[in-house]
Structure 1
């Protein structure tokens, strides 16, 4: 096999590995994002639950007001974690997009090179046919 073809195939294998790694990273950060969203939903549910307990008379307003800053802080922290996780997901998506683009570019270069090689081979074969035809005409005095 031609050294250039080997190099291009090695590059494609490398790019495929990068795509696989980018996919794995995206899956990891999406799982983290989902966990952050669950934590936020839980914190919001906790606030609603505490509000219900007060309205139902199971908890005093004083206890609720004591708890409220803690509950709001938990919601705010969870919201920040969701935003950070979304940013990480966006970055991972961009990384996957770039890795896919690099793979497609390497595959396109290899495909172009192979096509050029096929064209060179076809020209070489045609030249051989033409040369043989000239020799045959020369031997038989044709044309």
Structure 2
């Protein structure tokens, strides 16, 4: 039968595991957004290269390309800013997960020590009972 302290530790471990699960979910979402932001940066850079190739090949005029290029560069810059922000969110989510894992492991370590102490106490009681029975048998 579990005592109140052991039940409280089990509840704490469940709570910590829930926090770990939530942190993993948040990290997965953050990494997904970071990857999407990275894809957008790459697409916008590729668009500049594509437009430049079109201008060089004569498909569009160089004047049109020069007129468009600042907007293309601005789009890349905005995408890079969004990527930077997404990376910060991912980094924060990683830190939250690291902390949640540490808290969960600490709670589990406390529980493990508690269970070891209980096992040692039971073993000592059993040994005491065995010793008492042996003494009674020798006396009798």
Question: Which band: TM-score by shorter chain?
Answer: over 0.9
SS in 2 for 1:23: helix
Query: Structure 1 length normalisation: TM-score?
Result: 0.92
Shift of 1:137: 2.5
Match of 1:26 in 2: 27
- CA drift of 1:136 comes to 2.6
**Which residue pairs with 2:44 in the alignment?**
43
User: Higher Cα Rg: structure 1 or 2?
Assistant: 1
Map 1:63-82 to 2 at 5 A.
63-82=64-83
TM-score (normalised: structure 2): 0.94
Count matched residues: 139
Whether 1:109 and 2:110 are equivalent positions in the alignment is yes
Query: Does the alignment pair 1:56 with 2:57?
Result: yes
Q: Distance in 1 between matches of 2:102 and 2:96?
A: 10
Question: Mind listing any 5+ residue stretches in structure 2 that lack a counterpart?
Answer: none
Which of 79-88 and 33-42 deviates more? 79-88
Please give the per-residue CA displacement for 1:50-106, whole angstroms capped at 9, x wherever unaligned.
101110112112211111110000011111111111121111111111111111111
CA distance in 2, matches of 1:70, 1:104: 51
Unaligned runs of 5+ in 1: none
